[in-house]
Amino acid sequence: MKLKYQTIATAPRIIAVRLAAFLASVRAWSLSLPIFNFGAFGFGLSQLLFVYIIIKCVRGGDEATAEVWDNPPGLEWTVPSPAPHHTFDEPPFIQ
């Protein structure tokens, strides 16, 4: 019987400690909620931006010109395809 009365006597203390811990966690979360809300709205706006870009791509854009293939400015366009084992015998001069 001693154990039963001891449990009954400590139950209010356990409830009080758990309630205090709960209230402390609520206070901690309430300080960070504006940050979470800002992040959630930012995430939602990024989804709207994504949908806008997809719609813009599906509708079509400017046609690519042939100039890209005629005179490309990069060093990677001077290598034949498929590329040889040693790409260059001498290192190329880059201005």
Question: What are the per-10-residue average pLDDT scores of the chain (95 residues)?
Answer: 58 81 76 83 95 90 71 76 80 78
Assess contact for 87 and 79: CB atoms under 8 A: yes
pLDDT at residue 72, as a whole number: 73
pLDDT at residue 25, as a whole number: 76
pLDDT at residue 24, as a whole number: 79
pLDDT at residue 8, as a whole number: 60
End-to-end alpha carbon distance in the chain: 93
Helices (H) and strands (E) in the chain, counts: 2, 0
pLDDT at residue 48, as a whole number: 96
Assess contact for 75 and 94: CB atoms under 8 A: yes
pTM (2 d.p.)? 0.40
